[in-house]
Amino acid sequence: MAKSTKRRSTKKGSRGSPTRRSAKGRRLPGFWRWSVRLALSGLVVLAAYTAYLDFRITSEFEGKRWAIPARVYARPLELYNGLQLSADNLEREIEALDYARQAGASTPGSYDRRGDTFTLHSRAFEFWDGSEPARRIRLNVGGGEVSALSQPGAAQDPALVRLDPARIGSIYPAKREDRVLVQLGEVPPTLVAGLIAVEDHHFFDHYGLSFTGIARALVANIRAGRVVQGGSTLTQQLVKNFFLTQDRTLWRKANEAVMAVLLELHYDKEEILEAYLNEVYLAQDGSRAIHGFGLASRFYFAKPLQQLDLAEQALLIGMVKGPSYYNPRSNPGRAKDRRDLVLSEMVETGVIDEDAAWRARSSGLGVVPRGRTAVTNYPAFMDLVKRHLRRDYRYEDLSTEGLRIFTTFAPHVQQATERALSRHLERWDEGIEGAAVMVNVDDGEVGAVVGGRDPRYDGFNRALDAHRPIGSLIKPAIYLTALSRPDTYGLGTVLEDKPVTLEDRSGNRWSPRNYDDAFHGQVPLWEALAKSYNVPAVRLGLDLGLPAVTETLVELGGEPPRRVYPSMLLGALPQSPLQVARIYETIASGGFRVPLRAVRGVTTAEGEPLNRYELAVERAFSPESVYLLTTAMQRVVSEGTAQGLARWIPDHVQAAGKTGTTDDTRDSWFAGFTGNRLGVVWVGRDKNGRTGLTGSSGAMQIWGEAFGALDLKPLEPVPPEDIERIWVQSNTGQLAVAGCEGAVELPYVRGHQPADTAPCAKRRGALDRAADWVKGLFE
């Protein structure tokens, strides 16, 4: 790749040619001989030195030029009649796609909205499995559902439209992680033309140096008596930026000039321009230098370079001259004058017309208050993507080969989750943190990850790295263990809620208590889970045996404890929100383990498939036991600790879930699912302090608000063949009939109904027989 490497020269031996003293009184021929020798050796040294400079500049240039970061895409939105999607959520998706609002949506990458009717003009896109053309489509989203999907002008309306995917980030080389590399084609043409107009008028004509520029600068400098102007070309500036020092000696200038010429010999103008755009120093963020227009755009305007309007482009161009002097945050007046000057220059050189310049001049600076330099808006999700890919790819390849990465990221799901989390955390005490993971129930695709209170902060990713005790979120594992033994346990089995004392390993006695500090005597199994009673759960767990519960946990996809203690039954078991999602995913998908996936596939820059991460399932539990558990978990929401969800989630959704709270309200958890989505939320403090929040007053609130903003499918699992519904008396667990006092209807595994029949059912039975007998008399 680097054509220069073979030209490694020796280190420069001397500085300049040593022509200090002329030999006085010597004979002419000798003098000439020596002069020729000197000149020759001077030439050799010069040539070697030039070769050395050539090596330095080309290796520097190549090293940067060849690093094309991987592009990371969200999942494409698929539109079809009947798709549940609110107008708001569609708008979120369009925002993520950076479509411009434009009357009529006549160009690709634009949209128009009138009430609930949207016109979208998608961009052409090369997918894994074929290409999608740019299409102009119209649809209605009234009533939260897509309808009247049409393609005006086409012979036939499409049944299914796949939009181009939103680009959510890039993976950069480790050393240059703080750079938003842009390619020339992506940079607004006005910015490029404006830059050339202002900084280097003759860029396309010169060979690295501009003598008119130098002459002009020289005149100005002589007049001022000091260096006020540097007639540098863009090429020279690029060289200077490669080896940035404060050194402004003539020697350095000369070196730069030589290297500029050398660069021009090796590369064409476009390549040099692209490198310049990514290299130029544009701002200072504390101790960190901001290089390149891509990052500067994020730093000053918090948006990608492609989205800058003319005024914003001109502001950035103006800052090349003096990033701190023209800093729009500290010197807004100066920055504005400079920007307007740039606009005038752009008019003069014909880049824009006076009208456009006038409009741009009248706009504000548009600079965001604090610099945000995260290279992605979704650092927590990107973190998951990188970890996923690191199993199969070397980091160098990911960051330099221009790979295209297709993820499962769902922009509007992420947005809803972020908003719910941030809104609640702001309301609670300072220092309370949170994290959330959202997953598709049936295929295990991760749609959203939030790693903390500030979702843009690229730091500690709590969704993946905060391993915290899960509290009562462990209980479904206990009850599933029981329900997998239908000959002994059913949903109506009565459990004892009476004091119990245990001994831990060091011999300390320990008595679990319920959250409400009361004992409830005899409670049916489903109610013990719905109300999250601790005592019956511990008793049941001990009856089943800790190894059996641990095995269930592992089968569900959880991380087993290193050593098993009874306290595990109350959730003294640290897991990350992502791990909890894995556990609950197995329940939500009907007892099938489904690997959680953040990446669908990877292609080369040219679109050639490299890896696909396919949908895979593995049955882990009998369908009957998971069906029963799901029923009980739906009761958590309908009449148990998660009743409060009714505020956001309509009854007919029949969501299932579980709250979790650990000692002294240090951790607040909620994990729950509907027919299509699973979400896990954790709330707590990084230093493990009290929050004053329970599972329902903390994490569940966030879950509810987030899910309330999403399209939800009712949770209506198909009852397995061997499931029948029977009536069971709550306080005795005996078989009952409809109408018996305290009887509830529950699903049971066929052939495993309670052995005892409640007295009222016996009476009923007798009455029915009597009625039959009477009927028989009359027939």
Partner 1 sequence: MNTRRLARLIIWVMLMGLVAGCSVAPRDREPPPSEQGDLTSDPQRPLKGGEAQVPEVVVALVSDANAASSAGDHEQAAVRLERAIRIAPRNAALWQNLAVVRYRQERYAQAESLALKSNSLTADAGLKRQNWLLVAEARRAMGDEAGAREAEAEAKRFAERAAGR
Does residue 85 sit in helix, strand or coil? coil
Write down the least CB distance from residue 72 to partner 1, Å: 19
Kindly give the interhelix angle for 332-348 and 310-319, rounded to the nearest 10 degrees.
110
Write down the least CB distance from residue 130 to partner 1, Å: 9
Single out the residue of 520, 521, 529 nearest to residue 489, CA to CA.
Answer: 529
Single out the residue of 421, 28, 376 nearest to residue 172, CA to CA.
Answer: 376
Does residue 548 sit in helix, strand or coil? helix
Contacts for 85 with CB less than 8 Å, ≥ 6 apart = 79, 141, 144, 145, 146, 711
Write down the least CB distance from residue 478 to partner 1, Å: 23
557 binds partner 1 (CB under 8 A): no
Number of residues that bind partner 1 (CB under 8 A): 33
Q: Which of 504, 614, 664, 756 binds partner 1 (CB under 8 A)?
A: 614
Contact call for residues 613 and 602 (beta carbons, < 8 A)? no
32 binds partner 1 (CB under 8 A): no
* 163-171, 434-442, 545-553, 749-757 -> range binding partner 1 (CB under 8 A): 434-442
Instruction: Considering the complex, state which of residue 73 and residue 301 has its C-beta at the smaller distance from partner 1.
Output: 73
**How far is it, in rounded angstroms, from Cα 45 to Cα 484?**
85
Sign of CA dihedral 232, 335, 316, 311: negative
Tell me the CB-side half-sphere exposure of residue 465, using CA atoms within 13 A: 12
The length of the chain is: 779
Q: Which of 9, 50, 81, 221 binds partner 1 (CB under 8 A)?
A: 81
Single out the residue of 482, 472, 656, 461 nearest to residue 578, CA to CA.
Answer: 461
Write down the least CB distance from residue 374 to partner 1, Å: 29
Instruction: Considering the complex, state which of residue 159 and residue 250 has its C-beta at the smaller distance from partner 1.
Output: 159
Write down the least CB distance from residue 342 to partner 1, Å: 48
Q: Which of 443, 458, 551, 711 binds partner 1 (CB under 8 A)?
A: 443
**How far is it, in rounded angstroms, from Cα 45 to Cα 532?**
84
Instruction: Considering the complex, state which of residue 679 and residue 695 has its C-beta at the smaller distance from partner 1.
Output: 679
- Hey, which residues between 308 and 337 contact partner 1 (CB under 8 A)? none
Helices (runs of H) and strands (runs of E) counted in the chain:
23, 32
Write down the least CB distance from residue 159 to partner 1, Å: 5
Structure token digits, residue 362: 């009248």
Q: Give catalytic residue positions.
A: 199, 472
Q: Which of 28, 174, 718, 777 binds partner 1 (CB under 8 A)?
A: 718
Q: Which of 590, 657, 672, 754 binds partner 1 (CB under 8 A)?
A: 590
Contacts for 413 with CB less than 8 Å, ≥ 6 apart = 438, 447, 448, 677, 710
Instruction: Considering the complex, state which of residue 340 and residue 442 has its C-beta at the smaller distance from partner 1.
Output: 442
Q: Which of 591, 657, 660, 684 binds partner 1 (CB under 8 A)?
A: 591
Q: How many CB atoms lie within 10 A of CB 689?
A: 14
Q: Which of 265, 615, 738, 770 binds partner 1 (CB under 8 A)?
A: 615
12 binds partner 1 (CB under 8 A): no
592 binds partner 1 (CB under 8 A): yes
Task: Please name the helix (run of DSSP H) or strand (run of DSSP E) that holds residue 778, with its range, or none.
Answer: helix 759-778
Q: Which of 546, 548, 617, 744 binds partner 1 (CB under 8 A)?
A: 617
Q: Burial code of 36-58, b = ≥16 C-beta within 10 A, e = fewer?
A: eeeeeeeeebeeebebbbbbbbb
Write down the least CB distance from residue 703 to partner 1, Å: 21
Kindly give the interhelix angle for 28-65 and 269-279, rounded to the nearest 10 degrees.
70
- Hey, which residues between 646 and 685 contact partner 1 (CB under 8 A)? 675-676
Write down the least CB distance from residue 720 to partner 1, Å: 7
Q: Which of 1, 28, 103, 159 binds partner 1 (CB under 8 A)?
A: 159
Contact call for residues 388 and 599 (beta carbons, < 8 A)? yes
Of the chain, the end-to-end C-alpha distance in Å amounts to 99
Instruction: Considering the complex, state which of residue 163 and residue 699 has its C-beta at the smaller distance from partner 1.
Output: 163
Contact call for residues 273 and 234 (beta carbons, < 8 A)? yes
Write down the least CB distance from residue 677 to partner 1, Å: 11
Q: 3-class secondary structure for 175-209?
A: HHCCCCCCCHHHCCHHHHHHHHHHHCCCCCCCCCC
Q: Which of 62, 157, 340, 442 binds partner 1 (CB under 8 A)?
A: 442
* 227-235, 417-425, 503-511, 613-621 -> range binding partner 1 (CB under 8 A): 613-621
Instruction: Considering the complex, state which of residue 310 and residue 596 has its C-beta at the smaller distance from partner 1.
Output: 596
Sign of CA dihedral 467, 469, 472, 474: positive
Single out the residue of 163, 127, 133, 164 nearest to residue 146, CA to CA.
Answer: 163
| 219-222 LR contacts (CB < 8 Å, sep 24+) | none
720 binds partner 1 (CB under 8 A): yes
Q: Which of 337, 516, 618, 741 binds partner 1 (CB under 8 A)?
A: 618
Instruction: Considering the complex, state which of residue 239 and residue 596 has its C-beta at the smaller distance from partner 1.
Output: 596
In one letter, which amino acid is 652?
H
- Hey, which residues between 39 and 78 contact partner 1 (CB under 8 A)? 78
Write down the least CB distance from residue 750 to partner 1, Å: 13
Instruction: Considering the complex, state which of residue 584 and residue 682 has its C-beta at the smaller distance from partner 1.
Output: 584
- Hey, which residues between 99 and 158 contact partner 1 (CB under 8 A)? 128-129
- What proportions of the chain, in percent to the nearest 5, are helix, strand and coil? 40, 20, 40
623 binds partner 1 (CB under 8 A): yes
169 binds partner 1 (CB under 8 A): no
Q: Which of 616, 646, 738, 771 binds partner 1 (CB under 8 A)?
A: 616
Instruction: Considering the complex, state which of residue 102 and residue 140 has its C-beta at the smaller distance from partner 1.
Output: 140
Instruction: Considering the complex, state which of residue 442 and residue 454 has its C-beta at the smaller distance from partner 1.
Output: 442
* 170-178, 549-557, 560-568, 607-615 -> range binding partner 1 (CB under 8 A): 607-615
Instruction: Considering the complex, state which of residue 484 and residue 641 has its C-beta at the smaller distance from partner 1.
Output: 484
Write down the least CB distance from residue 481 to partner 1, Å: 20
Single out the residue of 582, 539, 531 nearest to residue 558, CA to CA.
Answer: 582
What residue ranges bind partner 1 (CB under 8 A)? 78, 80-82, 128-129, 159-160, 440-443, 445, 589-592, 612, 614-619, 623, 675-676, 713, 717-721
